[in-house]
Amino acid sequence: MKILAVDTATPASSVAIGEDGQLRGLSVNVDRRGHVKFLVPAIDFCLAQAQWRARDIDLVAVDVGPGPYTGLRSGIATAQAFAAAIGAPMVTVSSLTTIALRAATGHRRIWSVVDMRRGQIAVAPFALLPGGVAPDGDPEVVRPDEFKAILECEGIDLLIVGDWQSLPAEMWTGLQRVRRGRPRFPSAETILEIAAMKERSGATLGPDDVRPVYMREPDVQINWESFRSEGAWPQ
């Protein structure tokens, strides 16, 4: 199965394509304001790397958040437009899950962090499983001081991954059982792996059924219908 994955939930936009567990093309750009201009050229670049046409894609996967509104909606709209143009099904993934899946830890409970800006972060806990992770609580949007209070109540060894660099340095004072690690941002390469598992379980959607996970009111509005009418890929 040939999969296209799109991620714009954080400043690190990425596009990846793969087949049967093998990465065939990857493009990454770290620019909190550059999601829109990056996406279509990145998709075309990855298709060229694999020597595929748009119609060769069997499944389109997209990160639906949480994340800042502008970048997130750009990626979702572009993925929807691509899938609709070629008649491909879609799967959705969480930015928090994508980050946690690539966390390097042997035994620590994982907390995944996405910077939502305006002094807020989205966080979620994950438990380790053989070969992966599983959600171990509900995601929520909190202030850094609220997150510190949550970590202080855990009482076990923890690993914080995601964009913890965006948090105040003083937040980590006194958190003796907390370590910080990678990755900082989600990646479309990891989404390929999640997408293949979701497709096997039958968790596919039509393009019009894909919904973002904002977890708060959006900062701005984007006319995503304009993406769908650009005609960048064959009908």
Q: How confident is the model at residue 218 (pLDDT cuts 50, 70, 90)?
A: low
- Of 142, 164, 180, the one marking the end of a domain is 180
Q: Are residues 125 and 156 in the same domain?
A: yes
| Inside any domain, residue 165 | yes
Domain that holds residue 172: 96-180
CA 2 to the chain's CA centroid:
19
What CATH number is associated with residue 27?
A: 3.30.420.40
Helical residues (DSSP H) of the chain, grouped into ranges: 35-50, 69-86, 95-101, 144-154, 188-200, 225-228
| Inside any domain, residue 234 | no
Q: Are residues 7 and 83 in the same domain?
A: yes
The token duo for 90 is 């879609």
Q: Are residues 82 and 164 in the same domain?
A: no
Q: Are residues 142 and 192 in the same domain?
A: no
Q: Are residues 214 and 133 in the same domain?
A: no
Q: What is the pLDDT of residues 60-94, one digit of tens each?
A: 999 999 999 889 999 999 999 999 999 999 999 99
Dihedral sign of CA atoms 182, 194, 131, 28 in order: negative
Q: What is the pLDDT of residues 2-41, one digit of tens each?
A: 999 999 999 999 999 999 999 999 999 998 888 889 999 9
Q: Are residues 156 and 221 in the same domain?
A: no
Q: Are residues 138 and 71 in the same domain?
A: no
Q: Are residues 103 and 171 in the same domain?
A: yes
Dihedral sign of CA atoms 22, 27, 116, 79 in order: negative
Nearest in space to 58 (alpha carbons), one of 16, 92, 90: 90
Nearest in space to 148 (alpha carbons), one of 119, 185, 174, 115: 174
The count of other CB atoms within 10 Å of the CB of residue 21 is 10
Maximum CA pair distance of the chain? Answer: 57
Q: Are residues 81 and 114 in the same domain?
A: no
Q: What are the angstrom distances between the C-alpha of 208 and each of 68, 77, 83?
A: 21, 10, 10
Q: How many domains does the chain have?
A: 2
pTM score, whole prediction:
0.89
Mean pLDDT rounded to a whole number for the chain: 91
